Amino acid sequence: MGKDVTAPPDATVIDATGKFLTPGVIDCHSHIAADSINEGSVPVSSMVSMEDVLDPEDISIYRALAGGVTTANILHGSANPIGGKCVVLKLRWGKTAEQMLFEGAKPGIKFALGENPKRKGKAIHPLTRQGVNDVIRDAFLRAKAYQAEWRTYESEKTRGKRAIPPRRDLELEPLVEILENKRLVHAHCYRADEILALIRLADEIGFKIRTLQHVLEGYKVAPEIAAHGAGASTFSDWWAYKVEANDAIPYNAALMTRAGVLVSINSDSAEEIRHLPQEAAKTMKWGGLSRDEALALVTLNPAKQLMIDDRVGSIEKGKDADLALWDGDPLSMYSKTLMTFVDGKIFFDRAQDEQRRIEVAQKKAALSEKEETKP
Amino acid sequence: MSALLRSLALVCIGSALSAQTTLIRNATVHTLAGEPIEKGAVLIQDGKIAGVGRNLKAPKGATVIDAAGKHLYPGMFDAFTQVGLVEITAVDVTGDRTERGDFNPQMRTAIAIHPASEHIPVTRANGVTHTLSAMRGGIFSGRAAIVNMDGWTWEEMAIEADGPLVVEWPVIRVYPEDAPSDRPKTFEKAREEYDKKVREIAEWIESARHYAQAKKAGAAVNRKLEALLPLIEGRQPMIVVAERARTIRNAVEFAAAHDLKMILAGGLEAAKESALLKEHAIPVLLGPTQQTVPDEDDPYDELFAQPGELSRAGVPFAITSEQYYLSRTLPYEAAGAVPFGLPKDEALKAVTLYPAQILGLGDKLGSIEEGKIANLILTNGDPLEIQTDVERVFINGHEVSTDNKQRDLYEKYLARPKPTP
């Protein structure tokens, strides 16, 4: 990488004069490529996994690639205080679901605070923010007891005792993984009070929140978030769609960044995912982040939050060749993606796309003609 | 009595009360009525633009603003929104958007526009100085209101309090709208329901025409039919919301058959019907470019490319946010079409001049020309670009604050002392 790199004899050479090359965009909060989002029938649905419901043919994957996105964190919904398990995908469009999994990425799990877990399914617990916090506390107390059972069993086994293994508990197992730093917590949250309450609970129980998701009032408790070491993944400028989003401000990402929080901008939307660098650019206008800081919000920072920054998130020798080529400044409204590479392979090419849509139109015309001339 | 007359007069000129004179000079003036004027000046008097040029003298007592290095543009017009009608989406009672029943032509959107809505200062701080706010839902949703993003009351805000009637064109729907996973109806059944609704629309139009005649003969006032008179007498168009190509076709054919002036709103697939729209001279208040492409096999950039296609086809259009809390993103909805084929200056006109022209306000708004309402924004660059700041905003010739709830919260928490551990 650099100013003078010589092409090996068999290399394809792309002349990108006047163009911009960036790391592939990473979305830390997405629900694309998923057949269903919420298992909302129980307060703790940690036994379910997004991995089981991946749809590799979801057109949103391709449309995200057309916006320079190469990696996305596919999350369970926010119907319950502790939701389902999440997966990180590389957008290898055309491959199977299994082939899209980001190899070696730490698995995650969704938590949710506030109005959504309170609101969904009035017949199930909880109904208040206190109740949400209590459900999480109760689950972790049970998980700790479960972890202790296993530890006893393991130690008895190593001491040569004839021990009976505990019955596997698929609800508590992922929570033990959280306690043992094997699974990342992505906690949907809005209001400052619930954010602080979760941080205090996590400190007390002894686990880390990897990212606070949405975290629209994060700016109000930014020092506390930084002290816990949680990342924050937020929207650029959405607000007012519910009461807990009413104090949301477009300066949120900048304020949290200045307080020392690792921040990313996410989409949570199959539409928004298509222009994430432009969303990130709003933090330059509202809050005065630098160009590099803004671009990092959708590249390096989410890579760090997902602990995959040894592989992706920046253009460095040895990293995966996940790249996006733009016809202008990706932080400008006047630019678009020309090519997107995953693992060094082209998964989106605008020129090819334009060619293909002509072919598709011809095929469609031929088909409808056939239909019309049917006897 | 004289006080009453005075207040009526003020309502009539639609201005927020003052004889303030301001001269903005040394700015690059983007008039949108010709080439930009470098080191140009704009004189504002009685809420109107009183002069545009290079060497304007400040009248005695005028406030002079030296705008060296800055750019002056017409304020942006978000011409299909719910600004002022909804405060928080999820809390029904904060919204005055949809009345019960299908036919409410007598509903006046204007009277429930909340002048103290937090959304108004947020919207104007990014350069949107006026909006068309509209009730939605049913079939005849109500009369839209065209308002400034400033004013102590809705009357003071109003540019046109009783604007065009909004019509939600019925859709042939095999899945019920509120329960899309339910069992579908047969197409025949859905078509029958659709036809019934269209017959009802035709009956209303016909009744209104009879009413116009009967009224001349002294018939009693019927408020609903009265509200349809501007439409059937050709004094006002109707704004018809239609998204998919077939719905657009149906609406256009109906308007033509019944001799009604129509503006299309929404227009998710407007470009697919551009020939028809051009033939019937129907302009479009296009929805945002940043929304999900409707069909799986449509090009990924269909909605980014659509404004460029309409422009090339010669169909007049404006770009709108269709929003309330994101009306401030209007410039980005327009700019998003530029890399996909819409010329930059057309994108700017699509959120300034064109919506004014489409809504019959081309002589009042949309460009910096003598006699127009002084809705202006002073920026440090291209207002369609995210990184540009809107520094000062003038509405009806008054400088209005760009302060808002969000900036207040920013400043408040920026000043939060470091917590002691």
User: Cα–Cα distance between B326 and A204 in angstroms, integer?
Assistant: 39
- Does B90 sit within 8 Å of A334, measured CB to CB? no
pLDDT digits (tens, 9 = 90+) for B386-399: 999 999 999 999 99
- pLDDT(A259) > 90: yes
pLDDT class for B153, splitting at 50, 70, 90? very high
Handedness of CA A224, A230, A235, A241 (dihedral sign): negative
Q: Quick one: DSSP state of residue B110?
A: G
Chain B nearest-CA distance from A335, in A, is 6
How does the average pLDDT of chain A come out, rounded?
A: 96
Chain A nearest-CA distance from B201, in A, is 33
> Taking the model in full, what pTM does it have?
0.94
pLDDT of residue B176: 76
- Give the nearest partner residue to A282 out of B300, B340, B386, using CB atoms: B386
Chain B nearest-CA distance from A365, in A, is 14
Q: What H or E segment, with its residue span, contains residue A173?
A: helix A173-179
pLDDT of residue B20: 85
Looking at beta carbons, which residues of chain B come within 8 Å of A270?
292
Residue position matching structure tokens 């996994």: A49
- pLDDT(B238) > 70: yes
The pLDDT of B213-218, averaged and rounded, is 95
Chain A nearest-CA distance from B325, in A, is 6
- Does A285 sit within 8 Å of B389, measured CB to CB? yes
Chain B nearest-CA distance from A254, in A, is 10
- Give the nearest partner residue to A281 out of B297, B325, B387, using CB atoms: B387
Cis, bond preceding A126 (omega within 30 deg of 0): yes
- Does B296 sit within 8 Å of A115, measured CB to CB? no
pLDDT of residue A175: 98
CA separation (Å) from A43 to A96, A117, A187, A251?
A: 32, 8, 15, 33
- Provide the CA B368 distance to its chain's centre, in angstroms: 18
Q: CB–CB of B23/B14 below 8 Å?
A: no
pLDDT of residue A185: 98
- pLDDT(B4) > 90: no
- pLDDT(A65) > 90: yes
Chain B nearest-CA distance from A19, in A, is 14
Give the chain B residue whose CA is nearest to the CA of A275: B290
CA separation (Å) from B312 to B243, B318, B341?
A: 20, 14, 9
pLDDT of residue B18: 46
Six-digit token pair at A14?
């792309």
- Give the nearest partner residue to A270 out of B292, B299, B389, using CB atoms: B292
Six-digit token pair at A284?
């330059």
pLDDT digits (tens, 9 = 90+) for B358-388: 999 999 999 999 999 999 999 999 999 999 9
pLDDT digits (tens, 9 = 90+) for B81-126: 999 999 999 999 999 999 999 999 999 999 999 999 999 999 999 9
User: Cα–Cα distance between B143 and A174 in angstroms, integer?
Assistant: 55
pLDDT of residue A122: 60
Query: How many residues does the structure list for chain B?
Result: 421
What residues contact residue A99 under an 8 Å CB cut-off, 6+ apart?
A: A56, A92
- pLDDT(B141) > 80: yes
Give the chain A residue whose CA is nearest to the CA of B291: A271
Q: Quick one: DSSP state of residue A231?
A: E
pLDDT of residue A54: 98
pLDDT of residue B183: 81
- Does A255 sit within 8 Å of B387, measured CB to CB? no
Q: What H or E segment, with its residue span, contains residue B129?
A: strand B128-133
Question: Which one of A261, A334, A362 would you mutate to disrupt binding with B, by most B Cβ within 10 Å of its Cβ?
Answer: A334
- Across the A/B interface, how many CB contacts are shorter than 8 Å? 110
- Give the nearest partner residue to A240 out of B89, B335, B389, using CB atoms: B89
Chain B nearest-CA distance from A297, in A, is 16
- Give the nearest partner residue to B329 out of A63, A237, A328, using CB atoms: A237
- In one-letter notation, the amino acid at residue A103 is E
- Does A334 sit within 8 Å of B385, measured CB to CB? yes
Crossing angle (nearest 10°) for helices A129-158 and A192-205: 20
CA separation (Å) from B73 to B28, B56, B125, B192, B356?
A: 9, 18, 14, 50, 15
Chain B nearest-CA distance from A75, in A, is 20
pLDDT of residue B1: 37
pLDDT digits (tens, 9 = 90+) for A325-335: 999 999 999 99
Phi, psi of B245 (to 5 degrees): -55, -45
The pLDDT of A207-219, averaged and rounded, is 98
- pLDDT(A227) > 80: yes
- Does A240 sit within 8 Å of B88, measured CB to CB? yes
Question: Which one of A115, A271, A333 would you mutate to disrupt binding with B, by most B Cβ within 10 Å of its Cβ?
Answer: A333
pLDDT of residue A134: 97
The pLDDT of A121-144, averaged and rounded, is 91
- Does B336 sit within 8 Å of A275, measured CB to CB? yes
Looking at beta carbons, which residues of chain B come within 8 Å of A220?
413, 416
Which residues on adjacent β-strands are paired with residue B379? B71, B390
pLDDT class for B12, splitting at 50, 70, 90? very low
User: Cα–Cα distance between A320 and A118 in angstroms, integer?
Assistant: 41
Looking at beta carbons, which residues of chain A come within 8 Å of B87?
240
Q: CB–CB of A270/A74 below 8 Å?
A: no
Six-digit token pair at A221?
């408790």
- In one-letter notation, the amino acid at residue B11 is V
How does the average pLDDT of chain B come out, rounded?
A: 94
User: Cα–Cα distance between B17 and B7 in angstroms, integer?
Assistant: 9
Quote ipTM for the complex.
0.95
- Does A239 sit within 8 Å of B290, measured CB to CB? no
**Percent of chain B at pLDDT exceeding 90:** 90
pLDDT of residue B116: 97
Residue B376: Cβ-neighbour burial (10 angstroms; 0-12, 13-18, 19+): buried
Six-digit token pair at A45?
């649905």
Residue position matching structure tokens 């309409």: B310
pLDDT class for A121, splitting at 50, 70, 90? low
User: Cα–Cα distance between A13 and B279 in angstroms, integer?
Assistant: 48
The pLDDT of A344-351, averaged and rounded, is 98
Q: What is the DSSP string of A131-142?
A: HHHHHHHHHHHH
| Closest residue by Cα to residue B165 from B222, B106, B209, B213 | B106
- Does A271 sit within 8 Å of B292, measured CB to CB? yes
pLDDT of residue B3: 45
Q: CB–CB of B97/B133 below 8 Å?
A: no
- Does B387 sit within 8 Å of A284, measured CB to CB? yes
pLDDT class for B180, splitting at 50, 70, 90? low
